[in-house]
Structure 1
Amino acid sequence: MNEQHAGQAIIDTLVLHGVERVFVVPGESFLAVLDGLYESPVETVVCRHEGGAAYMAEAHGKFTGRPGVAMVTRGPGAANALVALHAAWQDAVPMVLFVGLVPIADRMRESFQEFDPHAWFGTQCKRVMVLDEAERASEVVAEAFFAAGSGRPGPVVVGLPEDVITRPVSGVLHPLLPVGEGALSSEDLEAVCAALNEARRPLLFVGGQRWTPEAATSLTRFAEQNGIPVVQDWRAADRVPFDSPVNCGWLGYGRSDATLALFEEADVLIAVGALPTDVPSEGFTARQGHDRLNILVNIDTGLRGRSGAVTRHLIASPVAFAEAVAGLRLGREKEWDAWRSGGRAAQQSFTALPVPEALSATCPGTAHMGAVLGELVKRLPDDAVFTFGAGNHCIWAQRYLPTRTFPSQLSMRNGSMGYSVPAAVSASLASPERLCVVVAGDGEFMMNGQEIATAVQYGAAMLILVVDNGRYGTICLHQEAQFPGRASGTRLANPDFAALCRAYGGHGETVAANDEAAGAIERALHAVIELRRPALIHIVTDPRHDLP
């Protein structure tokens, strides 16, 4: 590269790494980087809040498998982005957050918006890197992308001192650092085969990151050809299709008792990408015996978060494992048929939408989510993408919305609210040909619903279902369990969500009765698919029907 400022070198390195867009809330601390974006092929998506921008970057990492990129300013901007870093850290999602910093000469002087990025972010990301030498700008970016994507993926923070990024640099851009997938040795594969050949009740437990559509398809084929039931991790129910004969549900909040029983009763468990962390293991209580045969296929050498016995650890990504077992036929599918079919039948019953007659007792002036989803599911394409954040409303999405391809489910495993709309913006921009459906609670939506403005500005289209029960429903549920009849600090007074979406430039409707759902969904889908506009359906619900 010819002589240019370090901010331009950073952007040129992003281009070299195949970055198509960055999610930004601008700040005076990284003006040289914004200048580098001015004539760049990288699309600059200007967001309305740093939390929304960082969530979009996290969702991009989940959706594409490549690090999502967000840029925020120092101090308050960095603080607002921390929530998405925590989500990416707990979900093992590749993400790079660039943060403008005070000039080097102003450090440790309580200067305007000064903070210590190592102290703030050090426990919630894989690396914190500060660019103190302009000539290393390209190298630092390459190292950040490598750290974010290699091994157990996660977020990386790159601090950019305001003065350093304006300094001139020259030389060559740093090349990409390849990320290894790990591998199964011949001994590893023999161990897998030996365990399965002796198994009476085998089970695959899948989830985590480092998947590709090809790996998901290949693993599904392996499971189906061999008749091995599959259980998926919480908020990761798109690795094996919703309708697959081996799909026996997911673990975690909202799961069925039958799925947990499979997990407990399996005599051989092969966990691919997923780990028995606290949520799928029911708070470190399920499948904890030291006599259990558990083979963990995970690229993380530290197995961070796992619980229970480990019989064998195969250091490989889901991609490497799927390739290794692609042609493996064990010939025992008939022996395992009753085990598999029982789990599958239970899951089919669990995910069957309630019949309309069962929903007629809804309180006047409200609609039942079962009726709304029943109308929606009839109209969904097979490659629809679903996004949701945290709250009771998520169980409706997790349980009933059919994930038929990978990736098709973007959600949070750290219980973070405000994710659903930003995630849909990110997915719609990455794959505009696919329908994005958001399921948000009234509390969850209000935390980042303003990113509808970003969606309109950049042509992202999605259908947003806002479930309005007038309260923080999950907390109310816990209060009723511990302090019956004494709900406190959980009531909400909500705006007209449909009018709010129209004010942003989208399509908005309100559904307050079951028979209003079909027409509202038809019109909303027309706005999303034909007009490329966000559409919101405000669903007024009875709090007594929060859960399926």
Structure 2
Amino acid sequence: MTKPQHAGQAIVDSLALHGVKRVFSVPGESYLAVLDGLHGADIENVVTRQEGGAAYMAEAHGKFTGEPGVAMVTRGPGAANAYVALHSAWQDGTPMVLFVGLIPVADRMRESFQEFDPNSWFGTQTKRVFVLDEASRASEVVAEAFFAAKSGRPGPVVVGLPEDVITHRFTGRLHQPIKVSEGAVSAAQLGSLTAALQGAQKPLIFVGGQRWTPEAAAAIATFAEANNIPVVHDWHASDRIPATSPVNVGELGYGREAKPGEMFAEADVLISVGTVPTDVPTDGYTLRQNGDAVNFLVTIDTSLRGRSGAVTEHIVATPVAFTEAVAGLDLGRAADWDAWRAAGRAAREAFTALPDYAGLPATREGTARMSVVVAELAKRLPEDVVTTMGAGNHCGWAMRYIPTNRYPAQLGTRNGSMGYSIPAAVAASLESPERPIVAICGDGEFLMNGQELATAAQAGAPLLAVVMDNGQFGTIRLHQESHFPGRVSGTQLSNPDFAAFARAFGGHGETVTSDDQAADAVERALKAVIGDRKPAVIHVVVDQDILVP
């Protein structure tokens, strides 16, 4: 059968040319020509239950692969629902492209059905906003959108598709992908960095952010280990250096132990790779703000967006280019830094040691400890597990007890956006079906996009969700008790049976209400996910007063 020659088909053909294997969508009448182009294409259309879920999946795909995740939604309400993921991608520097169906060109500026202005809505939270007004430019616009999403500091891009334009005949040519630059480390910069490190007493590498590959992550670990330089991670980005590495001393941000913050403040030379000292890792712009601090910032972002503190030198390079530049570099100081590194490593090992609650009294009747459930889980998970998280105190259990040993291994929103855990788990499972995917969820966070378990079941994405049910928005409750003690207001929840919720979608459900139920529940849930290849939920009822690990 001959392919249709409309612009919608050209868009799909261009996505294939850019290596897109799947898109995440909620269908709409405003982009029917693109849906028509997807008919019979070698691109999987993962149909989701809400645009926020679709867009979160695209954002998670971007984090997980480094290639732009693609979401497709309709105009007005559909675009509004997708906005939350655009904000996450903007703040986290994640490559994604959101295609939004629009009203016909002739209906503009008439308050037509679901009309909105894409530039006004999205202009402050995206790298580019395109509106396809000429069918012949369909493929060119796709190429420009992907280039914008990937180049420099990655981020979200919106492509508006007027309903009538995408039905017009495509007379242009398919536009080849535009290669992005990795930047470079000059000989002078490498010399300056080397000299600073050779004179350092307490050097530290700070990693996170964008433009990493598995090879770059392995290379930075090799460089740090060869020179005995401790490495600290950005918040929700703890998978660049293996958890088992002797130079891994933890991560900054919310829920951390004391030692990484102390080392970050005390380091006399800091090398920041892929990220910069932003709000969260600096504890709200309080750590390392002194003007004479020696900070080498290695990032492809020429604007240094989000940076705080001093800049000794800005090296415009990706982690790929940087690790290539320092490969084999022997600073000759490894023994001198052993005590500095060892102290950080010892603190990290103590902090992440699985808890032993043998002999301790039980928690409130009808509740279990989240730490016990996660410990039982961690004992059984293979090294290549992928953990996903939304936002909330429940993330602390994943960050502390579930190790990350193979990049990429952790998907979370560094902008604190809720509802991310399940969509991210779906995206990771579809991309790497051979790896076990575990979502650590709060009760409030889970129900923001828990309906995407239906997508998981339909698309064949087995995942395990561990839902911590404390009947409240726990993070806000913690802040509330700090600022207005004893005056609980607007944070309490009445929850459903989450295990039954999972079974309703054809998945497996477990409920844990005491510590002695944890091991068997985890065993059965993992069997359902890994053996039976279906989604599972472990509903953990916990004491309201235990808000952090």
Closer/same/farther in 2, CA of residues 68 and 253 from structure 1, 3 Å limit: same
Other structure's SS at 1:100 match: strand
Structure 1 stretch 325-334 or stretch 127-136: which is displaced more? 325-334
| Contact preservation (8 Å) 1:359, 1:368 | no
Counterpart residue identity of residue 334, structure 2: E
| Contact preservation (8 Å) 1:424, 1:438 | yes
The equivalent residue for 2:412 is 411
The equivalent residue for 2:208 is 207
Other structure's SS at 1:336 match: helix
1:361 to partner: Cα distance: 3.3
Counterpart residue identity of residue 138, structure 1: S
**Distance between the aligned counterparts of 2:15 and 2:401, measured in 1?**
39
**Distance between the aligned counterparts of 2:459 and 2:263, measured in 1?**
45
Closer/same/farther in 2, CA of residues 476 and 3 from structure 1, 3 Å limit: closer
**Distance between the aligned counterparts of 2:331 and 2:318, measured in 1?**
22
Give a deviation string over 1:463-492, Cα, whole Å, max 9, x none.
110000000000100110011111101110
The equivalent residue for 2:366 is 365
- Alignment map for 1:415-430 (pairs within 5 Å): 415-430=416-431
Counterpart residue identity of residue 373, structure 1: V
Counterpart residue identity of residue 145, structure 1: F
1:242 to partner: Cα distance: 0.8
Counterpart residue identity of residue 516, structure 1: Q
The equivalent residue for 1:535 is 536
Counterpart residue identity of residue 142, structure 1: A
| Contact preservation (8 Å) 2:521, 2:538 | yes
1:353 to partner: Cα distance: 2.1
**Distance between the aligned counterparts of 1:356 and 1:536, measured in 2?**
24
The equivalent residue for 1:269 is 270
Closer/same/farther in 2, CA of residues 13 and 486 from structure 1, 3 Å limit: same
Give a deviation string over 1:522-543, Cα, whole Å, max 9, x none.
1111110111100100000001
1:293 to partner: Cα distance: 0.4
The equivalent residue for 2:333 is 332
**Distance between the aligned counterparts of 1:371 and 1:45, measured in 2?**
35
The equivalent residue for 1:498 is 499
Give a deviation string over 1:306-349, Cα, whole Å, max 9, x none.
00000000000011111111111112110000000001101111
The equivalent residue for 1:18 is 19
Other structure's SS at 1:529 match: helix
Give a deviation string over 1:42-89, Cα, whole Å, max 9, x none.
000000000000000000000000000000000000000000000000
**Distance between the aligned counterparts of 1:209 and 1:379, measured in 2?**
30
The equivalent residue for 1:121 is 122
Question: Mind listing any 5+ residue stretches in structure 1 that lack a counterpart?
Answer: none
**Distance between the aligned counterparts of 2:441 and 2:354, measured in 1?**
19
**Distance between the aligned counterparts of 1:265 and 1:502, measured in 2?**
51
1:256 to partner: Cα distance: 1.2
The equivalent residue for 2:148 is 147
Structure 1 stretch 282-291 or stretch 154-163: which is displaced more? 282-291
| Contact preservation (8 Å) 2:89, 2:95 | yes
- Alignment map for 1:223-242 (pairs within 5 Å): 223-242=224-243
1:358 to partner: Cα distance: 6.7
The equivalent residue for 1:356 is 357
Percent identity, aligned pairs only, is 68
Counterpart residue identity of residue 349, structure 2: Q
Give the RMSD, CA atoms, in angstroms.
1.0
The equivalent residue for 1:452 is 453
1:267 to partner: Cα distance: 0.2
Other structure's SS at 1:543 match: coil
| Contact preservation (8 Å) 1:95, 1:148 | yes
Counterpart residue identity of residue 456, structure 1: A
Other structure's SS at 1:486 match: coil
Counterpart residue identity of residue 256, structure 2: R
**Distance between the aligned counterparts of 1:22 and 1:3, measured in 2?**
20
The equivalent residue for 1:36 is 37
The equivalent residue for 1:476 is 477
**Distance between the aligned counterparts of 1:2 and 1:51, measured in 2?**
31
**Distance between the aligned counterparts of 1:308 and 1:546, measured in 2?**
32
TM-score in terms of structure 1 length: 0.99
| Contact preservation (8 Å) 1:359, 1:371 | no
